[in-house]
Structures are given as C-alpha cells and as structure tokens.
Structure 1
Amino acid sequence: MQDIRLDGMHVLVMEDEFLIAMDVEQLCREHGAAEVTIIRQIEDLREDGLAGEAFHVAVLDLMLGDSPTTEFANSLTERGIPFVFATGYTDVQELFGVVSDIEVVAKPYGGTDLIAALGRAIERGRDRSGGV
C-alpha cells in the first residue's frame, strides 16, 4: 500500500473521547499534518469561530456527546472539504441519512485504516475538483 501523507495539511478532528482524539492527532502528525485542531463538542465550533475555518481534511465522530455532527458534515461537503466518519455506530446511513460516498471507519479502528480512509477521501475530493 502506498504511504499516505498529510504533508502541510490542516486536519480537523471531531472526537469527544480525549484519548482517541490524542491518538488521532499523533497519527496525523506522524503522517505529516502541519496542524491538527481537535473539537470535543459541537458548541466549540461556534464559540471558537471554527465553523468557517479552512481545513484540508477532517475526521468526524458521528456523535459528540448527544449532538450529531451531520449538519457540520453537510457544510464540509458544500465547501468541498473531504472527511471521513469515525464512529461506533454500525448503520450510519439508515440512522443519520449520511451520504453513501462518505467513508465510515468503524471504531475500534487501527491507525492504518483511518489514514487510508483519509487518503481515499482526499483523492475523491481531488477527483471532484479536477485534480486541484
């Protein structure tokens, strides 16, 4: 498998479990991410003004506490920002109406699986934007 690199990218991680968030941050940095922003609750997006910030790619837990991240995921889709869902939910499409071409990485997942999914999301984003 090709080594997936996140060189120079700003990665958003939406994860309410502290240890998982730290592991994902470390994983992204090991693969070259220049910046990793961790959001542990939906309210932090609004309070910190991060909802409109430019991220290159994102890892979204489907639920942060009792709040679904699907509305924010829709805004990422509209902005052309690739992302993956990383969740313990098994029937994401049926429960949350998630678009079928968004990859879901099931918890517990391995680092290789998550980075590979991010790589595929980035490639799909490039394909949609004409290779930019």
Structure 2
Amino acid sequence: MTSATNPLAGRRVLVVEDEYFIADDLQRQFEECGAEVLGPVPRVEEALALIAATPQIDAAVLDINLQDEMVYPVADALQARGVPFIFATGYEKTAIPARYAGVRHYEKPFEVACIAQVLFA
C-alpha cells in the first residue's frame, strides 16, 4: 500500500549495486521508507535471474558498472516489462547510451527520497 506522503510504502524496489556499503545503505534507506528491497544484487546475471523469477517489481535502481560489466541488459529487461528505473552511478550522463536518454541519472551519493519522487511521480 502506498500513500501520497510516502510513495515507497509497500513498493518492491530492485537494487542492482556491486559496492557493498552503497548497496547496504540503499537497502536500509528503502526499507526505512517502507519499501521491500529485491536484492541488492551485485552482478548482471544475478539481476536478470531475479527479474525473471519476480512477478512484481515496482521500480529499480541500477549502478551502471557492475564488476566491470555494464548493466544495460538489466535495463533492457526492465524496460521490456515496463518497470521504471534510474541509473545511480559515478558515470556522467554523457557516458550512457542514447537509447536510455529518457532514463533519469543520479550521481552518487544521492537521497532515496529524491529517487522515490522521480520513480513514483
């Protein structure tokens, strides 16, 4: 169940991040806001398996570079399912392929509350 004051309440959010401390912090922040965190997962293969096995995903936060592997297959799988997502990364917006021009980009560090407003506006 979501509310206008807390757009994360009851949402299922996939976190794809390979940096342990960042992933742990994101998980904690999302859970404190009432979201259920799927993952966090540190690799593309694991993220794709989780997406395939999970019928409901409300949104996702994707790091672009996962252990020297680009996250774009995960982004494609989410787009195919109509799941909104953002890129949360140290990369500049210009490093992201043009096909993701409409996807929001946040440079680390960022606030989960800001992301929630974008994902569920």
Give, in whole Å, the separation in 1 of the partners of 2:30 and 2:65.
21
User: After TM superposition, what 4+ stretches of structure 1 lie above 6 angstroms from structure 2?
Assistant: none
Counterpart of 2:115? Answer: 117
Deviation (angstroms), 1:4: 4.2
Q: Decide whether the 8 Å contact of 2:15 with 2:62 is kept in 1.
A: yes
SS of match in other structure, 2:83: coil
Partner of 1:26 in structure 2? 28
- From 64, 67, 85, the equivalent of 2:66 is 64
Quote the residue 2:98 is aligned against: 97
Deviation, structure 1 residue 122: 2.3
Q: Please, what TM-score do these two structures have when normalized by structure 1?
A: 0.76
* 1:3–1:95 CA distance, 2 compared to 1 (3 A): same
Instruction: Report the CA distance between 1:117 and its aligned residue.
Output: 2.5
**Structure 1 CA distance, aligned partners of 2:60 and 2:117?**
11
Aligned residues: 116
- Structure 1 residue runs of 5 or longer lacking an equivalent are 124-132
Task: Decide whether the 8 Å contact of 1:83 with 1:118 is kept in 2.
Answer: no
Opposite residue 47 of structure 2, the aligned amino acid is L
Identity %: 29
CA distance in 1, matches of 2:86, 2:96: 17
Whether 1:17 and 2:19 are equivalent positions in the alignment is: yes
